[in-house]
Structure 1
Amino acid sequence: MVLTSTVNVLLIEDNLAEARLLQEILKGAHLKQFNLCHVKRLEEGLQKVQQERFDIILLDLTLPDSAGLESLNPLLKLAPHIPIVVLTNTNDDDLAVEAVRRGAQDFLVKRHVTLELLVRSLCYAIERKQVAEELREMNEKLENRVQERTAELLKAKELNQLKTEFVSMLSHDFRNPLNTILLSAGLLEDSSDRLTKEQQLTYFQMIRTAIKDMDQLLTEVLIIGRADSGRLKLNPIPLNLKEFCQYIIDSFRINLIPSHQLIFNSQGNFEQGLWDENLLRHILNNLLGNAIKYSPEGGKIRVDLIEKGERVILSVEDQGIGIPLEDQQKLFKPFFRANNVENIAGTGLGLAIVQRCVETHGGQIEVKSQVGEGTTFIVTLPFIWEE
């Protein structure tokens, strides 16, 4: 989590001497500049929050117009996005726990405040609040996506089967990222005072990665839903097909382990023609991703792009584990995975997406494979010309 170099702090404190002391302490900070706005009453603080932008609030619990943890409620209601650090003269663990339970990010005893403690508390409180907001927003997004997908399933051809598979997929493939999020969030909540900043940032990154995995899974399911409900549309644009394929392949080369070899060969003129860039990207990304995933170290992956009359033939060949003959007819079914993939991670959606993108582009796809020798996917697409 990256914080800006300037942090705007609203201090709600009726004791002028203590307010000045806090201001002097923050002046000693070197890595960040803290701009302190001081008010003496809760009502003044509520007005300031509506008038100016603050990154964090320092709240004293003994104010002339409010006392105790009840002071938190109007601030949280008015500005739930702003983290609050509570200040008190009492070293009371029960009060600290209750303050955090009610929504405060941290609890500081005034007589124990030092520059290091105060700066760390403010920065970590802002970081934790930002992560919480990201999780809340992502949760809303995921809920909307699930609702959208559910509505699409109601219109699908194989409604009952797809609903069953979707629920099964959610329970299985969402479990790992959800467990990562819950575990990391729990550690950040319960052990933040014992974790170094680097450890906290590691857990923040684990949460983000898990969220991205879940979002990617929902995106894949959404593509299947659009295709099966007839809403995956072809949007062709002028595109040099050879250069496009080369770009996608080069992006994969960057992340290949040294022992893998990715070979690209093209024959023909691909400077003219209209192609749907998004559909092609899904096709290539999934076929190449699978070829790499299921290939051993030292394996070669070959991509051929060949012009053949009014059609283009795109083939992706690997030297991987191969696909059992009895599984080849089911490859393009959503959520299906061959019985020899063992512990290799996957959702069973990639090839289903490829087939639907190929068909939307007016093409066909076939597979040739032998167990232990490798697999070749052959995609045939028609040229589309400008009128």
Structure 2
Amino acid sequence: MMTLPSFLLLAAVMATLWIAARSWTLPAFPGRTDFVLMQLSAAWWSTAVAVESMVPAPADKLFWAEMAWMGIVCTPSLWAFFLWSYTRGELPARWRLVLVTIGLATWAVALTNDAHHLFYTAVRPINSEPGAALVYSHGLLFYAVTIYIYAFMVMSIVVTASGIHRATPAYRTHYLGFLVVMAVPWAANAGYVFGTLTLFDLDPTAFSFLLMDGVFYWLITRRRLFDLLPVARDALLDAVPDPVLVLDGDGTVVEANPAAQALAGAPAAIGRRLADLPGLSALSATADAMPIWGPAKGPGSLPGPVPLTLDCDGALRSFEVTRVPLAVGGGGREVGCLLMLRDVTHRRRAEARLEDTVRRLDLARLEAEERLVAEQEAKRALNGFLSMAAHEFKTPLAIIDGAAQLLLMDAEVKAPGMLPRLEKIRRAVRRQINILETCLADDRLNDPAFALRRDRLALPALLRAAASAQGDAAPGRRIELDLDGCPHWVVGDGPMLELCVHNLLNNALKYSPSGTPVGLRAREEAAADGPWLALSVADQGIGIPDSERNRVFDRFFRASNTGTAAGSGVGLNMVRRIAALHGGTVTVDSRLGEGSIFTLRIPLSQETLCKDGMAEMPAE
């Protein structure tokens, strides 16, 4: 028959089971298994008490009172284990197995009470009404189990009270709430065992545990501490990989994490003076010099880290020691200090390797600079030699060319068969002269003191002379001139501009097949900053690959499809540099296998000439 006590207990059991299910689905937290098992155990205990209040027969009431002992024994012990795991770190699972084993053993003894009467020596109804509650006379084992249960309840109070002392101010009220709520089942059970406190003529302890579970869950979820857990001081120190020591005012170690104890080289560092620890004697001297036990300083006046080297089992390790004063009353008398040792061995070694690398790089840089100076001296000497050799070669080449011309005039009458050979000699001489002119021009352009000449040049005559010279050097090839719209005059460096035209024509003739013409076109283009000369050389040759078009004007670069054709990769680079000196540009439009068009553009206004020698030259 459902009664008011049984209804309230069963309603509380359902709420407790819901809390257990919710707790199990939350993210993992220390002691979660103990917390859920404690709720299930309390629910079992309360269900047995509820059924006891519902059955009418005294024998049935006694049976359900005996059935409740599994929950009676396990609930307080699991509660204590949960608090320990929650505040100090997870306990091994084997201890939970011990608790469950003791609970099952106690339950078995309670169910066999009729054989030994160690739990209940006598049972009687409180009155003559049907279904009246029973009054139990307790045996020796009942009190022994009660002491066992009270030991865990005392453990719960001690763990929670220590949590209040160690927690930050934000969580102290949280732990205080734990402590106040825990007093409810303690008072309820003590009143029932040693007095006459009952709830509806029943033991109120089971109901008080359910109430405590609900309030506790509310405290936890209100603070979201299943997601953001309060970490006790001991667990925090244990988790710190660097050594941490707490010293009192006399220099005695009162707290040390495992890393500090391992560094100390002593199994029991706590309680000994810092100077007496074999592995930390050097730290004692450093700590005395900081100083450690002087008056407490205000915020921001703490000394910075102090370097320290310790001998750890024959290996030197580097640390940075930081001292934090511990004062009474937040700024009052200093009673000790906290020493934090940060292991910077790897960083120090890395710094040493870096310094060694920097030193070696500096030496290499100095050596490279010396070699560069020597190379520049050798280059200047080589350029001087080449310039001298080019000048020296030009004289005999001119003599050879003059002699070949005289022989040509004589051979026209006396030996016509010699004409092709003499023409071949003259082409070879002109080719060598062009190479020498290019070398001399490149040498001039590399001279920082080089400055452009400002000559007024007859442009059509210059272009015709260049086309004629290149045509003579390539017999059988045709150079088509288009000088419609060509400006009559241009201001610039005559030899340099003539060299540009020669290089562009020579490049077009070299890489285009015989029988195809090379076009030379000059015209004037209007622009916002004045008139410009646009000089184009077009061929129907091999063209330039798309991926190499941007590099064609780089020094010493030759396209991958040039094959065995002679060349040094200097001519087009020289054209670009001369164009830049005249304030102009050179561009290329090319299709692979179809030909190329090189266009040299320079302004016709002489104010655009480079006024600072090579200052505006593109970087090589």
TM normalised by structure 2 equals: 0.28
Structure with the greater alpha carbon radius of gyration: 2
Query: TM-score, normalized by length of structure 1?
Result: 0.43
Return the structure number with greater relative CO, CA threshold 8 A, min gap 6: 1
